[in-house]
Amino acid sequence: MAALEHIPGDEFAKTVILMAGTSPIMAVLSANRHVRLSKVAAAVGEEVRLATEAEFAPLCPDCERGAEPPFGNLYNMPVYFDTGFTADEMVFNAGNHVETIRMATEDYVALVKPIRAELS
């Protein structure tokens, strides 16, 4: 999506749904970075793994798979936000692969109140 819309990768926020034990969590990081499970585990305090499609699809039933917006709080998931995301504005999928939303990163943080941690 970021490349199609000519959005720099450091501004596009991607979401990764993970399992911490039996609980889903959402990691949010720049599209040009890779989630490091060991770093997420250190932030969460337990082992984590990528959620399977069968695990995450029912969590966000109103979203296309792979287009979940970074509002895990709306889906009863804790949100971990990578400290490597430093852009003043962020762009993210609006629940589908066609529409995006742009907002100030500080507004996102104020709304979601994510846990800031090194994830990448």
**Mean per-residue pLDDT, 87-102:** 95
Strands (DSSP E) along the chain, which ranges?
A: 13-20, 23-30, 48-50, 79-82, 89-93, 100-104, 115-117
Q: What is the mean pLDDT of the chain?
A: 93
Q: Which of 1-10, 17-26, 46-55 bottoms out in mean pLDDT, i.e. has the lowest? A: 1-10
How far apart, in whole angstroms, are the C-alpha atoms of residue 54 and residue 62?
Answer: 15
For the chain, report the end-to-end CA distance as a whole number of angstroms: 20
The model's pTM? 0.92
Domains defined for the chain, CATH in brackets: 13-117 (3.90.960.10)
Q: How far apart are CA 48 and CA 46, in angstroms?
A: 6
* Longest CA pairwise span in the chain (Å): 37
